[in-house]
Structure 1
Amino acid sequence: MIIRQTRIAAVLVAGAMLAGCATQGGNTAAGTGVGAALGAGLGALIGDSSKSAGIGAGIGAIGGAIVGYNWDRIVGRVNDAGGKELGISTTKMPDGSLKVNIPEGATFDTGKYDLKPALFPVLDALAQSMNESQQLRLKSVGHTDSTGKAAFNQQLSVNRAQSVVNYLGGKGVNASRMSIEGRGPNDPIADNATAAGRAQNRRVELYLYAVK
């Protein structure tokens, strides 16, 4: 219950930050009914992805007219920096935000939260884009598999999310434009009963979105 309340509160904060966005250079309109889509997208940032649309639906109603962002340049920069070779994927979300999914193999050694140098060019590309476009914001979300003690996994997921934000901060992105969340093993995208599934669950998801 406490976790759910915290997540809902975080959605409200995010919704308030995004409310009232206006069209900017390089942005594309998200279209009619985008309030609900925003809620679904923010639900994916804050809540269990399997329930994101339900969590976000009420939030979207207070979001107002939200403007999406043209992510093509950033996606291109991530790919050019070696993102595909590292297994990094990008997904344009229905609310106009961009999810950058980074698997553990590209980021950290098992049980550690020191960034691997191979990831630096990708993060450099993201930092460059955020420094060029001050309306961009980022949320870093850490995930683990279910192996080991829950408390350790939770702290590890927080530390990993923070490591990414710390690196971007070192490249000039103001800390006030970024936030973190650690979800431990609580938001799996694959079956933790298999080695392949656990590998998919160990990841950091970066969500980029635009504000006015």
Structure 2
Amino acid sequence: MVKRHIAPLLALFTGLTSVGSAQALDSTIPATLLDGHRQTMGCWLADIDNDELLDKALIIDLGVHKLYGFVCSTGLSGDSYRFYQVEDERPKWAKLLSFPKLDTKLGWFASTQLQKPVWDPKNKYLRSEVPKQGEASSCRQFSLYGWKKGHFHIIQVGLSGDCEDNTGEGDMIIFPFVEEVEKGQAAGKATAPEG
């Protein structure tokens, strides 16, 4: 007789928990964004459930613009994220952001993923770090992005840690080329060496 009463109560409790979770999700992160992120190509989400996605989500409120960052893949070197930009609280028109990146051997390219992103709300900077010599090394390349006029632009790229190219103390700046900027010669074009 007791078993007969427990089943309906358990079903009622389970129903309330599901509704409560859906309401919490709707108030902070639109469900359509989470569903859309799961459907995008290029992310490894098989081992990541929605609870982990929500737990690790990064929400950046920039007034009219709100950015939602979700884990795209996990690894020993940290999580990579994809960011979606929502304007005027209209998640159905969210756009996937891409970021300029600099590879010290291959040059410039664009990517929709940032490795280990960290948001600085005071300066409105988004920092990303990529290991350069395996997971055990502290050699890493960082990129710093600034928010201006509705999008991110690249501010700085550098090497930190024990990178072979970094012989000085502290971070070594790769971009912008500091000497060219100080001399007013940073035209955005590479010049061929003479000789």
* TMscore range, shorter length: under 0.3
Q: Which has the larger radius of gyration?
A: 2
- TM value normalised by structure 1: 0.24
The structure richer in strand per residue is 2
Bigger RCO (CA 8 Å, 6+ sep): 1
- TM value normalised by structure 2: 0.26
The structure richer in helix per residue is 1
